[in-house]
Amino acid sequence: MIELVIAERCVRCDACVDICPTNVFDAVPDAPPRIARQEDCETCFMCELYCPTDALFVGPDCEHAEPTDEAKILASGWLGQFRRDSGWGEWAGDPRYRNEHWRMDGVFLRAREMNERR
């Protein structure tokens, strides 16, 4: 579930307010958005993908909110991980984060062959 809006990184673009499929955030004038309806979060990580400054953190648990220490998350290297791995924003064109989704068919085939051999 959505756990943190990190004020020092937020540029108040309100992209998360606009794009959240379940309307979790409320825009606040001259301030970072507020997590207004955490219980509605569907843990889809889309807000992290659309946040241009990696100011959002979605926890891994889809059932329960978890106390989350902002300092630890800032140090974790997890902020922006999904946006970077997706090759969005400044990561576009970086060969390390190329979209190789097309390999999925081949992966399924490999698995089938391995399972048939078992």
Torsional sign, CA 85, 86, 90, 96: positive
**Does residue 114 bind other proteins (CB under 8 A)?**
yes
Give the whole-angstrom CA distance, residue 114 versus residue 111: 5
Q: Cβ 42 to other proteins, closest distance in Å?
A: 4
Distance CA 13, CA 10 (A): 8
Q: Is 49 in the site for other proteins (CB under 8 A)?
A: yes
**46 in contact with other proteins (CB under 8 A):** yes
* Residue 105 in contact with other proteins, rule: CB under 8 A: yes
For other proteins (CB under 8 A), the number of binding residues is 43
Q: Are 24 and 2 in contact (CB under 8 A)?
A: yes
Site string for other proteins, 61-90 (x = CB under 8 A): xxx--------------x--xx--xx----
Q: Which helix (H) or strand (E) holds 81?
A: helix 81-85
Q: What is the closest distance, in whole angstroms, from the C-beta atom of residue 53 to other proteins in the complex?
A: 18
48 membership: H or E segment, kind and range: helix 46-50
By CB atoms closer than 10 A (0-12, 13-18, 19+), residue 112 is exposed
113 scored as a contact of other proteins (CB under 8 A):
no
The contact set with other proteins (CB under 8 A) reads: 17-23, 27, 40, 42-46, 49-50, 58-63, 78, 81-82, 85-86, 97-105, 107-108, 110-112, 114-115
